[in-house]
Structure 1
């Protein structure tokens, strides 16, 4: 639509501008009804500002800030003229409001707001259709006023003509250009976010209390008792976690795989910390669309050196020698699986001829970023980590040649039971904030409160570490020394609850009926849950690794 009527100039109001007239075919009418049922939105951009619909408070509170909906719906579904049958009505008239800030010294102005109010009206006109010169009865620009008859909405019906119109008004604003995004990003639910923080803090305090009791009372008593054992007979009667000191640092089964998972988790941890720091400092402006995702991918690639270093150093501690194979798996395993899922999902979007599909050039750029930067840096980090002194030199006790048998454990210390229990509290610390993140991704809401997000992330780190340490202590007291994998899975199992919550959110909050859309949702949430698994699992692993070294270095071992 490049006709003069479909364009507007700065500070030149236009009323009732006709864009076009069309008659829908049966297929087009069906498509429009489906789009209205699925709540599709029309997105526009003016001077890099997205089109928004202002939403006032239902409580008629004039002091309450206005929230904004990103994009305008295609139409609305409802009853009309006393009929019990629901019909589909299309928004065929858009009333734009462009806010601008005028410079005090010059006559220049800059756009600081782009809002719209949609209307559905059945336009009527006199005489013959003369394109832009047609005079509409329902929308009269000559009277300098807009007449929109909301009692006669435009129904989506095959064969009936629809006239699309718009008007543009300009309003001077005190908002400066540098602050024009502030009102868009204004959150009206800060109290809910603070409730999320308080809820998470209560979980942390509960775990901290348990940990303090273990560390300050139980462990202190155990260490004092073990160090006071003087005779050989007393030493042979020792029980509890000291009894497995000769096996507690025995390399686990599939040690190389564990190193790969830990290295990938370190890469995610570094990426999130750096990205959140940039976001809090305001370096990731929302005006730069896609800037956050671009920053995350770039930081991920450069964090490959930390992933390789962490994986190789841990592998050296397990007395492994094939560090190149571990480095290769660290560089390719998780990114390869994520890229494969992403490629399949993107192929589905291509098949639907959606504009949201990632272009082939962008996919090529991602592959080059992966193999050109991330993979080499992983090998550099692995070389540095493997050449450093072995981590076994830092272990406080020696490992016996023959492993001791593990006694039968009570039902509540069953590996599956303890792992599933361990993931509940970390998920509980973040699930409220997770709701807002899912809403911003799938329901097109603004999310730019990275200060809250950083606090929740810090609480998540503390919660994962504490729950892993508590359960690890109980495991060692039961003379079960196979803690390596369980410490990882204990905190990492929170990803299972995240995926289950994503499924719950899908069926309760989203009205997705198409198979492709459902596959896209669960595919992307599967990638997010896998990333959450390696992140939280790595946090729990390192917390237990520190804890075991600490307690076994505090007792006298002959």
Structure 2
């Protein structure tokens, strides 16, 4: 009885946790419908330097008019908290369809400390973000006006907020904020902080209200279309080239070995010169070094590939870009639910190669990527706490993430490992592995595993190069990424190009009589992430105006996290493709 009660409690907590996690995509201001004179809440969110997107602080970290009493806080789901959002009720009196000519929010008395804070904010181009009915409003704290007596100009603070709200029947469609009445920042000034609200009808439907935030000319520029077409042509060319060269070469190899009346010396010469891959049939299925680690990264990469595909499809169908943090929440929940795949792939691979310590493999598979992200996130979180930024992840959110991993992800990885060991873990190599490893002859430098690995990532990176620019710009430059159809095509192109390039590299390596193809195929595909990270360095210095230790650490930290995931994903795809290729070619030869 106690065990059944405890299991019921765990199930209940799991259900509540999932409902909490899925709430961002369903979060709303009630049902988004208002009657005349219904109160409409204006939420203040964050403030920070415009050139540093992640360096954000609580809106009231600047000495603005504070809400009286204990204002309401709006806590979204997991993704919203991780995104550094903290919505606080401004307590500004706004009613549906009721215009406000000019009302005073409060009177701001400027002392020396407040003037210094505001001047620093103006010099660093501080912007702020509000929300009304889940629609964002943006504005700058102040500006620098020309001043004959100062080299940097006169610091002014905008004191009037003019809010224009467009509505369709009983629903809010669009909100816009313009700032007026700049006043100089001087000690002793008393500034009246005011606002006005104007309501205007519109024919735009509620379903189309987010379109105004989407930059169609930027994302649907002909360069974007051309890049997709160019990558698609690369896929056709590469797959055709791989099919023609490899199939023709392998057909000749098979025919050569099938001839029974050839001169033995000629056959040996042909084998050594043209078909070295046949000579390593007794070693090619030898268990790779560090089998536990390779099984873990391949299993994790297979999970990440499925995860990315699922999130892209859900973003296409569910327009996840509309909700604050919905993409992050979806990613975390889907990662937990797809952990079965990582365990299945890893467990089956580990057992097929004769691995005995499957528990160690399972634990490493379940914890590898989460703990890598945790390590990077811990460092970045320490920096954010030191700066007092909203980007700092609250302790409660860390606990929630850990609970998801411990009670959903880890058990599913365990289940997947058990199923993988029993369903696909039996050894079935086409060729018997010899007892004594064959010595690997020295070859030319371009056939060494390190060179093959580094060259393998060039073409996959070339296929996603343009899309990386749009992804980076959307994440680091305040643009909403919504073209997930493009992303789906690019992702499929990346998978195909990665598999083709890795197969070619594996064939060259085996032809050089080097049978250590497993790790080489993984790194050959994973090197794509190295080129993406190098591109991110170029992007940081050429395409952005970011500055300061905070933003620099966040930029390169988040990019490292992204590239690690991309490298593991591509590496797993490359290994699995090469594995199918190797098994296929050795299945058709006669082994002694």
TM-score where L is the length of structure 1: 0.83
Q: Which runs of 5+ in 1 are unaligned?
A: 52-70, 103-108, 123-153
* Matched-pair contact (CA < 8 Å) for 2:128–2:141: yes
Q: For residue 416 of structure 2, what is the aligned residue in structure 1? A: 381
Residue 490 of structure 1 aligns to a residue in which SS? helix
Q: For residue 43 of structure 1, what is the aligned residue in structure 2? A: 129
Where do residues 22-33 of structure 1 align in structure 2 (5 Å cutoff)?
22-33=108-119
Q: For residue 174 of structure 2, what is the aligned residue in structure 1? A: 113
Q: For residue 194 of structure 1, what is the aligned residue in structure 2? A: 225
Equivalent of residue 203 in structure 1, options 234, 240, 252 = 234
CA apart distance, 1:441: 2.0
Aligned counterparts of 1:49 and 1:318: Cα–Cα separation in 2: 54
Aligned counterparts of 2:187 and 2:517: Cα–Cα separation in 1: 67
Aligned counterparts of 2:589 and 2:261: Cα–Cα separation in 1: 13
CA apart distance, 1:347: 3.0
Deviations 1:270-325 (A, max 9, x none): 2112111211112x544432221111111111111111111111111211111111
Aligned counterparts of 2:535 and 2:438: Cα–Cα separation in 1: 41
Deviations 1:37-94 (A, max 9, x none): 444321111111112xxxxxxxxxxxxxxxxxxx223334464579864554443333
Aligned counterparts of 1:462 and 1:5: Cα–Cα separation in 2: 54
Aligned counterparts of 1:448 and 1:77: Cα–Cα separation in 2: 35
Equivalent of residue 462 in structure 2, options 409, 424, 428 = 428
Q: 1:168 to 1:216 in 2, by over 3 A?
A: same
Residue 398 of structure 1 aligns to a residue in which SS? coil
Q: For residue 143 of structure 1, what is the aligned residue in structure 2? A: none
Q: 1:18 to 1:448 in 2, by over 3 A?
A: same
Q: Check if 1:264 corresponds to 2:300.
A: yes
Aligned counterparts of 1:386 and 1:113: Cα–Cα separation in 2: 55
* Matched-pair contact (CA < 8 Å) for 1:308–1:327: yes
Deviations 1:102-136 (A, max 9, x none): 2xxxxxx21011112234x34xxxxxxxxxxxxxx
Aligned counterparts of 2:355 and 2:261: Cα–Cα separation in 1: 38
Aligned counterparts of 1:232 and 1:325: Cα–Cα separation in 2: 52
Q: For residue 458 of structure 1, what is the aligned residue in structure 2? A: 492
Q: For residue 517 of structure 1, what is the aligned residue in structure 2? A: 551
Q: Check if 1:281 corresponds to 2:317.
A: yes
Equivalent of residue 509 in structure 2, options 472, 475, 478 = 475
Equivalent of residue 164 in structure 1, options 190, 193, 209 = 193
Q: 1:486 to 1:339 in 2, by over 3 A?
A: same
Q: Structure 1 stretches (4+) deviating beyond 6 angstroms? A: 81-84
Equivalent of residue 252 in structure 2, options 199, 204, 221 = 221
Q: Check if 1:181 corresponds to 2:200.
A: no
Q: For residue 160 of structure 2, what is the aligned residue in structure 1? A: 93
Bigger helix share: 2
Q: 1:188 to 1:345 in 2, by over 3 A?
A: same
Q: Which runs of 5+ in 2 are unaligned?
A: 1-65, 69-89
Q: For residue 305 of structure 1, what is the aligned residue in structure 2? A: 340
Aligned counterparts of 2:193 and 2:360: Cα–Cα separation in 1: 62
Residue 20 of structure 1 aligns to a residue in which SS? strand
Equivalent of residue 294 in structure 1, options 329, 340, 352 = 329
Deviations 1:370-417 (A, max 9, x none): 111111111111111112354531x22222211111111212223222
Q: For residue 249 of structure 1, what is the aligned residue in structure 2? A: 285
- Count the aligned residue pairs: 499
* Matched-pair contact (CA < 8 Å) for 1:313–1:386: yes
